[in-house]
Every structure is written in C-alpha cells, then in structure tokens.
Amino acid sequence: MVSHDPAYKQLFSHPEMVADLLRGYVREEWVQQIDFSTLERLPDSFITDDLRAREDDIIWRVRWGERWLYLYLLIEFQSSVDAFMAVRLLAYVGLLYQDLKRTERLAPKAPLPPVLPLVLYNGDAPWNAATELAELMEPDLPATLAGFQPQLRYLLLDEGRIANHPDPSLRNLAAALFRLEFSPTPGDFKAVWDRLFAWIDHPNQESLRRAFLIWATRIGLRRHLPNLNPGELHDAQEISTMLATRTTDWTLEWKQQGLQEGLQEGLQKGLQQGRQQGQQQGESRLLRRQLQRRFGPNLPDWVDERLRQADIDQLEAWGEAFVEAPTLEAVFEAGK
C-alpha cells in the first residue's frame, strides 16, 4: 500500500490529469458535453476550514453546457476500506453546497449545481464498501418515511483493478499513472514511463513533468528501487536509465536463482545429465512463477506443456522476453 504523499495530490492539481480521468473512466454520454478547457480548481480561500482540513481532497469545476459541474475528488490512501465512505461524502458535498452559497457563487434563487463525488483508491485490497448511501440505510422502510432519507452515490476508481484500462496504447495521463503504480516489474514501469514522457514532452507541460518526477522518486519507484534516494534522480531520462539497469540486474538475479535451484536438484542425482535436467526444471519452475506474477495465477495448460518441452536456451529466451512482452502469447513467440 502506498502511503499518503502530497506528490499524488500535486498530480491531480493539473487540469490535464483531471480531464483524462473523466475521459478515461466516466463512461457516460454527458461527458462528451464537457468543455475541458474551462477546468478550474477551487482555491483554498474559497473553501471553509471544514473542507480545507481534507488534505487529500481536491475540488474542481468545469462547464457542462450552460452549467457548472463540480467534481469532488477524494484521494483515499487508507490501508483498509472505509465502509462508511458514502456517509463521509454526504457530509463533504453538503459542506461544498454551503460554501457555494456562502461565497455567493450561486445566485440567490439559482438551483444547486450537480456534483460528481469520485473516490480514487490505491490500496492493495479490493474496495468492497457500499457506493450508495441507500445500501447503508435501514431496509424495508414505509414509502412515506423512505422518501425523507438522504441519497448519495459516488463513483469509485479502484486503481489496482483498473490499471490496464483503457487500452495502454491510448494517450491517457491518469491511466498511465495507474499502470505505473501497479507495474509488476522494472521493465513494465520503464515502458509506461518512456511513453508517458513522450506524451508530455512540451514546454507548456513542464509543471506536469515535474509533478510526475516528484511522484516517481517519492512513491512510484519504491517498489522497484527500494533503496532509492529521492535526490539522486533529476530528470525522466535518468529514471529510464536506472530502470533499464535494474531490469538487467533483476533478470540476471532470477536466472541465477533458477540455475541454483536446478543445480541443487541435479547434484542429488550425481550425474551431469541430472544437473542439466535440474537446471532446466529449476529455470522452468522459476519462469512459471514469474509468468503467474505478471499475467495472473491461472495459466493455460499449454504453458506448462511448452515449459516441459523447452530446452535451457529456449527458457532463457522466454525469460528475457517476458520482462517487456505485452501478452502471455508474446512471451512464447521469442526465440522461435
């Protein structure tokens, strides 16, 4: 679980990130009517102390046709799922409406604007809390009483479950962030990182590039470079180079581990043939574990058959290919 860090909030303080978040993950027709050029973050001076105390929350507004649409983005860093998130958001949205009236951003008789409550969750455990307030209410109320109960529904984005959507080839900054955060290997991180910085290689996006650099050195690289000193890396190319080095080292490490496992099994047989067979079996077992880690625990039956029949050279070719191969099938295309 990634701990709280202001670097994450800084990323979603950029309108490009918020626009791609809505474009990529709010699959509704009305999103097509949003004028993303009007995205405006509400300044802290506008928000009361009650809302300003919410350090991980960001409030934006954007023109939706002739109206303003407010986006309440709650960034959830808790290690456990909050079962009463719907109740929390009911209170926050109420405070937002009070602030809109207090600051006279609404005409005296104007209707309240629509608000999209959005929870961005990056915990390891899947989110299983109710996303509608009604699910937490007492059931089977009389209709005349149920009509008086508050209603609220929020949109949940569980990063660990949506990291590969939309299509990785599509330009979407929010999706790139999610894939970086849940990248299983240094090679995966590097591939997304290089593509991301090609997208934002423009003088007008210097602030956004800097925000991604800060996020990567403080949070994103910790899984792959646990001993990293944030002050060591100063630009995107340095990070890419270090990841390339780490990918090579990491590949050599697991190959050496597989060699050692195989040799141990072979030595028990006391024959050279046994050593070779043990090495093949050791590399085969280790490659299978890496494939499960990358593509999921339930591998197709044909994978085990290919691993059993492969010689050491073929296993090594697959082992090098799986680091950056986009699919399971692509791994086994190597070395043909």
CB 179 within 8 A of CB 162: no
What residues does each domain of the chain span?
A: 6-180, 249-331
Read off the pTM. Answer: 0.69
Q: How far apart are CA 101 and CA 224, in angstroms?
A: 48
CB 148 within 8 A of CB 105: no
237: which 2 tokens?
């190319």
- Of the candidates 126, 128, 118, the residue with the CA atom closest to the CA atom of residue 1: 126
Q: How far is CA 32 from CA 21, 158, 162, 286, in A?
A: 13, 23, 21, 47
Q: What is the DSSP string of 14-64?
A: SHHHHHHHHHHH---GGGGGEEEEEEEEPPGGGS-HHHHT-TTEEEEEEEE
Measured in whole angstroms, the distance separating CA 290 from the mean position of its chain's CA atoms is 21
What tens-digit pLDDT sequence spans the chain (336 residues)? Answer: 444 568 888 999 999 999 999 999 998 999 999 999 999 998 755 455 555 555 568 999 999 999 999 999 988 776 678 999 999 999 999 989 988 888 878 888 889 999 999 999 988 889 999 999 999 999 999 999 999 999 999 999 998 888 777 776 789 999 999 999 888 888 888 889 999 999 999 989 999 999 999 898 888 887 777 777 666 666 888 888 877 776 555 554 545 555 555 556 655 554 455 556 666 777 788 788 878 877 777 888 888 888 888 888 888 788 777 767 778 888 888 765
